Structure formats: structure tokens, C-alpha cells
Amino acid sequence: MTQTPDTTAPLTIALASDHAAVALKAELVAYLAQLGHAPIDLGPADDSRVDYPDYGYKLAEAVASGVARFGVALCGSGIGISIAVNRHPALRCALVSEPLSAALAREHNNANAIAMGARLTGPDMAKACLDAFLSAEFGGGRHEGRVEKLSNPAF
């Protein structure tokens, strides 16, 4: 059975991006620290060109290994890095663009990471998405079996 984390305590949250989202990542790292959480910035450190899969894989490993409870993946559109994160069977990364989708990602899919596009989502909306994601809880029930199938596909 999938467990729902205690999101009332300070959380360790890994953040990673590509070059297009370095500025948004820095803003979200500062925001999470201001809220009392423990953000882990997995890079990159500047806006020099990098490949988003490298950083998506770092984020997936940090969450899957338990180094971080949740992950925030960022690139220009959010699409590429979300695909990279979801290559790891333990990750359920949802691409979100507004608070409702961020909350539903936790409530219905027990997402342990979210992805956003820095070219599509401004800092205030990204913070609102992060707040909604972190404050939502997995609903279990009818969603439980579906979430289990995501980690154990029957191809």
C-alpha cells in the first residue's frame, strides 16, 4: 500500500532544472527555505547549456533513494524533464501549470514530483502550484490500485 507522507513537518525537497529554468529554480529554492523546508538544489548552478535528462535522472534518484521526500523538476516547457523523471519506476512526476492540477497530482496519483515549465509558468504561479502540491494528500481508496499499477505495469 502506498503511504501518504506527513506534509506538516519540514520536508526535504529536491529541485533540478535545465538551463532554461535556473532562475525559477533559484526562486523556488529560496521560497521553500522561507517556508521552513529543506530544499536540495541538484543543479545546474548557472544558465550554461545542459541536457535536461541528466538533471531529471538526478532528481528521480534523490526521491527514489529517500534523500528527498518530493521533487520539483523544471525546464523550459516542463515536458522534457518530466519525461526524464518518469523513466524511474519509483517516480510519479506530474506536469502542472496551475494549483488544481498540482493538488490533483497528489490526491489522485500520489505524485512524488511535479514538473513545471519556466517559459510557461511565472514565479507566482509556480509557488502556488508548489503550495497546492505540498498541502494536498493522497486520497487512497479507488485511486490506490491505479497508483500501484503505475509502479508495476502489466505489459
Taking the C-alpha atoms of residue 80 and residue 56, their distance in angstroms, rounded to an integer, is 9
Sign of CA dihedral 10, 137, 14, 76: negative
In this structure, are residues 111 and 94 in contact, taking their beta carbons and an 8 Å threshold? Answer: yes
In this structure, are residues 119 and 20 in contact, taking their beta carbons and an 8 Å threshold? Answer: yes
Q: Which residues are catalytic?
A: 75, 108
